[in-house]
A and B are shown apart, each in its own frame.
Chain A
């Protein structure tokens, strides 16, 4: 098991944002985390990244997160945050190289070149980051994150928080195909927070659904993406079409928002499950 998360809870101030979550991830598995805004997805991801204090246990490659030396962990596990804002005039190549091990800092680095061309930012390599578009910056951050672990031996884990939110459809497809390929060919375990249900259906091996800080459902796309569950979790009605490609597609209905959205009650784990 690359990642095992046992009874993890996170509290910010007095409120509990993530409540008693268990999950696990195998090598080469692409796990996607779904759920409405405020469900606690990003918070859970931050806890697993070690950015937030948590109760419970997060084990990576069999070892508790806190027991890893930071510099070793950085070679095996990479984290892409939801937003990375760069205000200083660094170039694209400089930022990607930040992900590389310290020794590989002189001369050209084939891994960096390869990643930049695969993420379609090779032509931007000497451009200044603050001047890039949002989508270009997102691809750049993914390149930096992948540069950290792509040539490391042993168990590897990739944590992605909405890594396609600023991309056009073609680039969304390109990025997730790359991630999918790396998972399958290189055995990298991927945990990704996503909002696009159809992208999740297309690429995920397994889906986790969170609501109000709790894990409410887990399974394949076909098991999870049902009209009933969508209504229970997101509160909207949708049609689910089984595609020839072998995965379902979610088509929201117009006017399908229930009253719950106009007057949201106090959400709790039990209600949702």
Chain B
């Protein structure tokens, strides 16, 4: 029987289902795109070193492959970050986008783009090609910390305060971004367009090289937090009673979210709703234990983003929809439905 005693899909069968879905979506993604490539073309590229059609090999190996991997990583990291935040805040509506983490990360990145050759010249010289991800990481972490401080002012997490704080943080970050845009020159504006829309359209191996270490680190650290995060679901004081160092757990989670979302934003711009939709779905189907939610959110998040990206590049071919737009189209109504179904927040 594939259902467990609680009537939910068991961990092993759901893992099998999700992995098969991921493989299918990956195959679809690798075979679909504006440039026509048949399965035979793809097989010939994979099997023979000396590809019969060098353009096919380039489309496959230098464009679709890195894009697939980057999309999967970004989706996985955003979903896991969402799951971490929801556990930490004990609220299913927490999301890197909603509480302003993504906005903070992108503000920092945009600051590097616009002020890179004036005020922040030293930063650029110091960090080189890592300037964007590191800045985005700091931006992201600081915003999580800020949201946390505001929402926890009176010793208990107030969800209303949290969401309101998110609105305020988003507004302030948006204003600061607008200000930077105002002073940006034409060339800088070009880079900014990409940030605000969210896109995987430029993804290449170099993006993967810069972003993947941060994102993989975040993905590998997250499972260590599964048990203490389960304790968080019972309340912050219970975490300490169960023998976990509450502050350490909190800081680790905030760091992981900042790291992951920062890197994701650095390589793909603002992509919303993955962190909201995916963990929620996983919890509905498989329960709230983070030992299940974290790994499955990663897989489902990656799969969802790759699927959305595949769709984004074929619906208006030969042009492409920004992936951020695509996710907002899927996630917006979902969020609304979630709000309507949640009786008390």
Contacts and interface: CB of A to CB of B under 8 A. Distances in A.
Interface residues of A, number: 31
Contact of A90 (B235, B240, B288): B288
Size category, B interface: 20 to 34
A157 to B, nearest CB: 12
Interface in A218-269: none
Interface in B263-313: 283-284, 287-289
Nearest to B289: A94
B238 A84 contact: yes
A90 B287 contact: yes
Contact of B240 (A50, A72, A128): A50
**Consensus secondary structure, chain A interface:** mixed
A71 B243 contact: yes
Given A70-B245, A74-B243, A148-B242, A85 B235 contact: yes
A88 B92 contact: yes
A204 to B, nearest CB: 23
Contacts of B61: none
A86 B234 contact: yes
Given A94-B230, A102-B227, A89 B238 contact: no
Interface string A66-98: 000011111100110100111111110011001
A17 B7 CA distance: 47
A136 to B, nearest CB: 15
B288 A89 contact: yes
A70 B240 CA distance: 7
A88 B242 contact: no
Contact of B243 (A73, A86, A90, A94): A73
A51 B237 contact: yes
A63 interface: no
A70 B289 CA distance: 22
Contacts of A91: 6, 287
Nearest to A12: B155
Nearest to B231: A98
B49 interface: no
A78 B6 CA distance: 28
A88 B233 contact: yes
A89 B284 contact: yes
B235 A81 contact: yes
A67 to B, nearest CB: 14
A126 B230 contact: no
Contacts of A126: 4-7
A80 to B, nearest CB: 9
B289 A90 contact: yes
B281 to A, nearest CB: 12
A49 B244 CA distance: 14
A32 to B, nearest CB: 20
Contacts of B287: 89-91, 94, 128
A86 B245 CA distance: 20
A28 to B, nearest CB: 22
Given A70-B245, A98-B230, A84 B283 contact: no
A87 B90 contact: yes
Contacts of A87: 90-92, 233
A131 B92 CA distance: 17
Contacts of B289: 90, 94
A51 B284 contact: no
A213 interface: no
B241 interface: yes
A156 to B, nearest CB: 14
A74 B242 CA distance: 5
25 contacts: A46-B237, A49-B237, A51-B237, A70-B243, A70-B245, A73-B243, A74-B242, A74-B243, A79-B237, A84-B235, A84-B238, A86-B233, A87-B92, A88-B92, A88-B283, A88-B288, A94-B287, A94-B288, A95-B234, A98-B227, A99-B242, A126-B5, A126-B6, A128-B6, A128-B287
Interface of A: 46, 49-51, 70-75, 78-79, 81, 84-91, 94-95, 98-99, 102, 125-128, 148
